[in-house]
Amino acid sequence: MQRSYLLGFLIAMSACLLGPETVSAQGIRGQVDWMFLSRDNKADYAPLISGPDSFSGSGVDFDFDSGYRLMLGYSAPWFEVEAQFTNLDNWSDSTFTTLTEELVFDNNAANPFIVGGTPGNVFGVTTALSAAAMDPFTATLDDETLEGEFLTPGAIASYRYESEYHDAELNITMPRCDWYRFGLGYRHVELDELTSFAVTGQFDALDVDDGQTVGGGANDPNDGLSDAALQEAGFTNVAVPNGFDNILNAAGPDTLAIGIATQATNRLNGLQGTFDGSIVDSPYFLVDLSFRLGLFHNHTSAKVTESVIGSANDASAYSRTLKDTDNTYSFLVGSGLRAALKLTDNIRIHTGYEFVFIDGVALGPNQSAQVAPGGIFTIDNESNVLVHGARLGLELVF
């Protein structure tokens, strides 16, 4: 019985593949696809924390996520026009770790009075918080270099990466009078990126020279991180401008949530060449392929927002935002393979797999490393992304 089924299946497939080639009728075509897409990045996951508990966003990994595609086309005797829109709202992933050593704000990572003689953790990117912690002479005469400011062991560091993808095409091609079609089209692509790094822990500050704190006979003044130093480093106070206090201060201890968030946007517009070819076009079965190639103008923008927010015994909050925009050119190439089953003359069920490679884009993870001392920020828009995945849909031909 099983051999009979196998023989019948082979005969049916042979009829489909070897049947006479047909050409799609002129008229209107509509298509709805469920997309199942993933992506690979050439992203620079620079260490956000360097030291014994080194931490970056490299642990995130985009899985396949659902989206959709809508297509509407019209075939005439001399040409064919087709419009389609692809949407995927949210790729996302996150990772976190617990810091076993102190996270030191300034450059005193090896100070034995703060980290016990072992190397401590420091920020791996340029931050205004580190600049504030190394301010030698503020407007209110606070000398932050006398204190080593840090989060105590046990702080929690986390990283989240989110991205959205929108892709619209309008193509005009040769008519479906042969197994191949060439055409020219307009394409608009939007790629939006968001990353958020955060570390939360208890704040403390000790004298650099002897480890003294409140109550110590040789304790130096300050015993915290002042509002003046934070604002001189570039922060804007958004709530309760009184800085942060160490554990033994009468106003402490303070819990700090330190964050670095990045946003990057890409807006691609341009022309592309198209090629579509039928490998098999029988009365019952269809296999075809597609190819797209184009050069696009890409308006890119990015911003990096650094924040420090106190809780527990302190509600002080500070923020700094740096922005940049740039216009560049992006190269895009796409390809796909589709197989369709013709249920009737007008209804087809199809599936396939496709790839879209874009070079010359701004990615979220790359932006935090672009911040230089003094609050100088230059967008990084020289990365690439590969979007790929499967589709399953229904096509109606009239």
Confidence at residue 13, expressed as pLDDT on a 0 to 100 scale: 39
Best CA proximity match to 48, nearest among 340, 259, 346, 229: 259
**Model pLDDT for residues 174-223, shown as the tens digit of each residue:** 987 778 899 999 999 999 999 999 999 999 999 988 888 887 778 788 88
pLDDT at 225 > cutoff 70: yes
**Model pLDDT for residues 256-281, shown as the tens digit of each residue:** 999 999 999 999 999 999 999 999 98
Torsion on CA atoms 372, 376, 377, 382, rounded to nearest 10? -70
**Model pLDDT for residues 107-117, shown as the tens digit of each residue:** 877 778 888 77
Band of pLDDT at residue 143, cut at 50, 70 and 90: confident
Confidence at residue 97, expressed as pLDDT on a 0 to 100 scale: 97
The predicted model scores a pTM of 0.88
Domain range for residue 53? Answer: 2-397
Confidence at residue 91, expressed as pLDDT on a 0 to 100 scale: 93
Specify which of 36-45, 73-82, 164-173 reaches the highest per-range mean pLDDT.
Answer: 164-173
Best CA proximity match to 244, nearest among 167, 144, 337, 163: 144
pLDDT at 350 > cutoff 80: yes
Count CA atoms closer than 13 A to 109's CA, side-chain side: 15
Cis peptide before 253 (omega within 30 of 0): yes
Averaged pLDDT for residues 344-360: 95
Number of structural domains (the chain) is: 1
> Which residues does 306 contact at the CB level (< 8 Å), separation at least 6?
127, 128, 129, 235, 258, 259, 260, 319, 320, 321
Averaged pLDDT for residues 68-81: 94
What are residue 277's DSSP bridge partners?
A: 180, 289
Band of pLDDT at residue 20, cut at 50, 70 and 90: very low
